[in-house]
Amino acid sequence: DIKGFVFDLDGVITDTSVFHSQAWHQVADKVGAPWSKELEDGLKGISRMDSLEMILKAGNLQDKYTEDQKVALATEKNTNYLKLVNKMTPANILPGIKAFLDEIKNGGYLLSLASASKNAPTVLDKLQLTDYFPKIVDPKSLSKGKPDPEIYIKGAELIDLDPAQCIGVEDAAAGVESINAAGETSIGIGDKQILKDADINFADTSEMTLANIQKQMN
């Protein structure tokens, strides 16, 4: 039986995936790496430094920058990202999410957050959702990022559940892979082509209700 939900943040609870993309696009332009829809989708769920590596690789630029220069590029991206985050309000919560969080909270389900973002606490604060997530996986504690299952296994551990008792919610292919490898039931939100490995698919967050999840469970 399902007893808990492990949530991704960016692109699931809020529209920050657009802000991440915007800020990375600026970096790509700066270093002269080609920007594509494929790269944009591939970056979703990927840690800050790994994202930078992917962008540099797309432009065959991995060896052009020293470690210090890479850190400087990632820091600049984060500064630009935080400028966008600082303008956020609860209006940036994606459609239906607040209602769904209330529905599962009132239904007695446990909740944790499995975001790769070091900015997750700041984003939750801006959205005024901090109280919903007393349990957050610390991305600094991870040895491997998504698609490795570690982050979703930790998300279940934080709420004292077996992965089999949890549903993971993701907008990224790397994230769905992580949920599946952890042994949780996966919900993919967004393009069904990209999230084809998810157990349950929703085109957007407004479709996510317990009743609609039930319909796709077998």
Question: In the bound complex, what is the minimum distance in angstroms from residue 172's beta carbon to Mg ion?
Answer: 5
Compute the C-alpha angle 74/53/57, nearest 5°: 135
Question: In the bound complex, what is the minimum distance in angstroms from residue 206's beta carbon to Mg ion?
Answer: 17
10 catalytic residue (yes or no): yes
Token readout for 36 is: 């594509």
Distance of CA 112 to the CA centre of its chain: 13
**Count of alpha carbons within 13 angstroms of residue 111, beta-carbon side:** 19
125 is in an annotated binding site: no
Residue 22 interacts with ligand G6P (CB under 6 A)? no
Which CB sits closer to Mg ion, 11 or 145?
A: 11
Write the CB contacts of 171 (distance below 8 Å, at least 6 apart in sequence): 8, 10, 11, 12, 17, 44, 45, 188, 189, 190, 195
Contact present, 166 and 153 (Cβ < 8 Å): no
44 is in an annotated binding site: yes
141 is in an annotated binding site: no
Exactly one of 14, 92, 115, 178 binds ligand G6P (CB under 6 A); that residue is 115
11 is in an annotated binding site: no
Positions of E strands within the chain = 4-7, 110-113, 166-170, 185-189, 200-202
Which CB sits closer to ligand G6P, 117 or 165?
A: 117
Could you say which residues in the range 30-89 bind ligand G6P, by CB under 6 A?
Answer: 43-48, 51, 78
Question: In the bound complex, what is the minimum distance in angstroms from residue 117's beta carbon to ligand G6P?
Answer: 3
Contact present, 217 and 204 (Cβ < 8 Å): no
77 is in an annotated binding site: yes
- Locate all alpha helices (DSSP H) within 15-119, ordered by sequence: 16-31, 37-43, 48-58, 67-85, 97-106
**Count of alpha carbons within 13 angstroms of residue 213, beta-carbon side:** 19
Exactly one of 14, 92, 112, 119 binds ligand G6P (CB under 6 A); that residue is 119
Could you tell which of Mg ion, ligand G6P, none binds residue 51, using a CB distance below 5 to 8 A set by kind? Answer: ligand G6P
Which CB sits closer to Mg ion, 10 or 184?
A: 10
Binding residues for substrate: 8-10, 24, 43-48, 51, 77, 115-119, 146
Binding site for ligand G6P (CB under 6 A): 10, 17, 20, 43-48, 51, 78, 115-119
Residues catalogued as catalytic: 8, 10
